[in-house]
Structure 1
Amino acid sequence: MNVKRLGEMDFPLLLSAVALIILGVMFVFSAGVTSTGDIVSTEYIRQIIWAVLSIVVCLVLSLVDYRRIYDFVEYIYFFFLLLILYTAVFGKVVNGARAWLGIGSFGIQPSEFMKIATILYLAKYLDSSGREADETHRFIISALIIFVPVAIILLQPDLGTALVFIPIFLFMSYIAGIRLTYILYVAFFIAGTGILTVLPLWQSYILKSSYPFINALSNTKVDFLLIGLFAIICVLSIFGYLRYRKRYFYWIAYIFSGLAGSFLFSFIARHVLKEYQIMRLLVFLDPSIDPRGAGWNIIQSITAIGSGGILGKGFLQGTQSHYRYLPQQSTDFIFSIFSEEMGFIGGIVLFLLFLVILIRCTTLMKTTSDPFGSYVASGISAVIFFHFVINVGMAMGIMPITGIPLIFLSYGGSSLLATMIGIGILQSIYIRRFEH
């Protein structure tokens, strides 16, 4: 390792990340203080330890040539795949999901590191398959690399973490030049699955009336009849396309395969996910449908953000958090505490720090001479962007509650360490961006 190369790092990227980590430690501390000034949580101490460790790991990784791991990414991917599978069976249950491994109060969440492993493996595949003539084959293999860990994580069940893999796939596929119709197909499939999953609860809690089509979604026989019908139409359309080469057969197969998949996976989701997890996807439309449950979180979060005003109430001066109205305030709703105490101006600063990170990631994607490095950068930027947009939107009540933390700020060692591993890899790519 040549320590002198630290001077070649992307300092706007590093300093923005460190600034966010410091803010995270401050507001994890704030989340553990009561209205009387008593400190009721030591989470901030553990967060400081994780923060120091994460920054050190980031600096070390920046000195390591990221290209050295190219030949080992398959082993890294399958190791963490086995680890999350083991976790789904033998892990600790926290907040309703068997997603943790650990002893006592110490634990790690392997699925956080699975994100980085998946990005590396998918980046290698997209790089090595770039000259393949069969683009459909390239798309299918890429989808399998993503959706195998997604399926295992959903078994835990951890919907929030599973969702993060979707933008990884979409961003990296787009950067790798996979046909846009394929990428839109995945978006159509995911949107269809989400809508069909929440429709029964939407009917019960918001419409408060009965519709035969929606009722049919709760009937297993009808579900499988529709899935079978759509699958048959899809198969016949594929046969027609291969036999007659008519474009409309392609589009019929495109649409009905998406419908069949959406019905199938929505059926699985309704039986794997717990009702409160599905309710979280629904309640942002109308928090009043569950004011003491999932709706309570949104109502209190919006109240906290609104009470901060322009300049905020000041550090440790928030009321919603210190009177313990906000649930999970050191993790999912840390942005609510930050906004209450730092106000609109503080929120703008926070947005700018994330913007700097995303701009630096985008610039790196364009400037690096190595396609593998470019794909890795796109995957890591997808994770950061998705976490930020969903968590902040969730806190503001404009996105469903999915349990996705605010990256860099929320309490959690696994999330922070995995993120800074990603930043370290980005620094390694940046330092060697012009090398061949």
Structure 2
Amino acid sequence: MSYKKNYTSPYYQGDLIFILSVFLIISVVAVYGAQPSFSLLGFPGKQLIFYLLGILIVIGFIYFDLEQIEKLSIYLFIAGIVLLIVLKFSPESIAPVKNGAKSWFQLGSVTLQPSEFMKIGLIMMLASVISKANLKGSRSMREDIHLLLKIAGISAVPVGLIFMQDAGTAGICLFFVTVMVFLSGINWKLIAIIGGSGITLVLLVLFLVINFQDFSKEILHIKPYQINRVLTWVDPSQQTPNDKYQTDKALTAIGSGEIFGTGITNLKVYVPEGQTDFIFAVIGESFGFAGCAFVVIMFFFLVYRLVVLIDKIHPYNKFASYFCVGYTALIVIHTFQNIGMNLSLMPVTGVPLLFISYGGSSVLSTLIGFAIVYNASCQLTKYKGYMFK
């Protein structure tokens, strides 16, 4: 009598593979709807290539231990800062200003946006620092203050450099840094001070932008187009036809999709930057309310999976747990901001919809983060297997 052992490899994480596969299909199809092309050199073909490269990164990361990945944090963090500094002082011939922001290297047909990779490097670095601070268990107030200063010191340089290039991306960084601080075990009194200070700072900046625009431009170095976005968001009556053009087109596209959409080949509404910032509007017109709801549900599914992973892997590997905290916060704020600006509920900031929007830097950096999450999930399966042997 033959006996077949029931064994599933820990490297097979079916739900994460399913999520990534669905996002790949949605992304390539939506990008095709925004920029129809049958060529590999067209937007849909390039997006597929970016995804395939990202999947190779995910597979490659499987062969690293989480301890090895943690050791890479400092190198990726420093490399990100160096790229941001080089970008700041590069001539416009290789770092052109696009949409009012100098955020990309343009080397022939290859475009690189350092801030996208810096976000992952910063999350890794902070996860490493916070996990080491928690090795002893409970901490004193003095140790909490020391940890807080470390986090602030690590975050200040990259966030400052990104802010000089793109305030929207800098805001994204501040959000996930804040979430990681809140979940780092720091004393609630310090958390209250940080939270109150953060809210006060945001309100102060908004007050200055709205009431003292010259001061905001000259002292805070906030660009005129960014001030205009805030003003038109706070008071839509101030919007000119040009200000409303993108959001009006996005809302028209989403509304015209009705329940089930017009189909990917029957799009009638032209949405500027439809393959990047306004990809959700393209999905809305193509697949209607049903398609939009499906995309949102998939993001909820991913976030739920990450939250469960955060809790379960924490006893085994704190670095992985805190990285998942930062990565989850990154996905949540990108999704909220991008869909919000497509629905005219949030100011237009040029924030992509992760996993979906076109862009090599966005896709590859997002999948580097996903690779670490996938590795953590594999390691958790191994840990559980060892426990029950």
Residues 18, 273 of structure 1: alpha-carbon distance in 2 compared, 3 angstrom cutoff? farther
2:264 is the counterpart of 1:315? yes
In structure 2, which of residues 113, 118, 142 is the aligned counterpart of residue 114 of structure 1? 118
- Structure 2 CA distance for partners of 1:70 and 1:306, relative to 1, 3 Å: same
CA distance in 1, matches of 2:288, 2:179: 32
Distance 1:38 1:113, change over 3 A: closer
Q: Does 1:129 align with 2:128?
A: no
Q: Runs in 1 of length 4+ with deviation above 3 angstroms?
A: 4-9, 180-202, 217-220, 267-271, 285-288
Alignment of 1:261-280 (within 5 A): 267=216, 271-280=220-229
Residue by residue, what CA displacement relative to the aligned partner does 1:396-429 show, whole Å, maximum 9, x if unpaired?
1111211110001111011100111111111111
Q: Determine the structure 2 residue equivalent to 1:299.
A: 248
Measured in 2, the distance between the counterparts of 1:295 and 1:289 equals 10
Between the aligned partners of 1:269 and 1:8, the Cα distance in structure 2 is: 53
1:336, distance to aligned residue in structure 2 (A):
0.6
- TM-score, normalised by the number of residues in structure 2: 0.86
Q: Structure 1 residue 148 and structure 2 residue 164: aligned? A: no
Give TM-score, length-normalised by structure 1: 0.77
- Residue 128 of structure 1 and its aligned partner are, at CA, apart by 1.3
Instruction: Quote the Cα distance in structure 2 between the aligned partners of 1:346 and 1:417.
Output: 25
Contact 1:12 1:356 (C-alpha < 8 Å) held by counterparts: no
The answer on whether the counterparts of 1:66 and 1:428 sit within 8 Å (CA) in structure 2 is: yes
Query: CA 1:101–1:201 in structure 2 vs 1: closer, same or farther (change >3 Å)?
Result: closer
How far did 1:66 drift?
Answer: 2.3
Cα deviation for residue 162 of structure 1 reads 1.1
Q: Does 1:365 align with 2:310?
A: yes
Partner in structure 2 of residue 66 of structure 1: 66
Sort the Cα spacing of 1:331 and 1:287 in 2 relative to 1 into closer, same or farther, 3 A.
farther
CA contact (8 A) 2:276 2:358 kept: yes
TM-aligned CA distance change 1:113 to 1:327, over 3 Å: same
| Deviations 1:199-240 (CA, angstroms, capped at 9, x unpaired) | 3664xxxxxxxxxxx4xx4686xxxxxxxxxxxxxxxxxxxx
For 1:167, the equivalent position in structure 2 comes to 175
Find the aligned partners of 1:9 and 1:187 in 2 and give their Cα distance: 40
Unaligned runs of 5+ residues in structure 1 are 203-213, 221-266
1:169/1:181 CA distance change after superposition, 3 Å: farther
8 Å contact from structure 1 (residues 198, 282) kept in 2 = no
Secondary structure of 2:355 counterpart: coil
In 2: Cα distance, 1:169 partner to 1:274 partner: 24
Q: Does 1:27 align with 2:30?
A: yes
Instruction: Give the whole-Å Cα distance in 2 for the aligned partners of 1:164 and 1:5.
Output: 38
The residue that corresponds to 1:234 in the other structure is: none
Sequence identity (%): 29
C-alpha separation in 2, matches of 1:22 and 1:98: 31
Per-residue deviation, 1:70 = 2.4
Is 1:412 the equivalent of 2:326?
Answer: no
Aligned mate of 1:396, from 328, 339, 343: 343
Aligned pairs for 1:22-421 within 5 A: 22-33=25-36, 42-90=42-90, 91-130=95-134, 131=136, 132-133=139-140, 134=142, 135-155=144-164, 157-199=165-207, 202=210, 214=211, 217=212, 267=216, 271-320=220-269, 324=270, 326-368=271-313, 369-421=316-368
Measured in 1, the distance between the counterparts of 2:191 and 2:22 equals 35
In the aligned structure 1, how far is the partner of 2:98 from the partner of 2:53? 24
- Of the structure 1 ranges 91-100 and 103-112, higher mean CA displacement relative to structure 2 is found in 91-100
Amino acid in structure 1 at the alignment position of 2:49: I
**Distance verdict in 2 for CA 1:292–1:218, change over 3 Å:** closer
1:284 partner amino acid: W
> Partners in 1 of 2:232 and 2:319 — Cα distance?
40
Instruction: Say what the alpha-carbon RMSD is for the aligned residues.
Output: 2.5
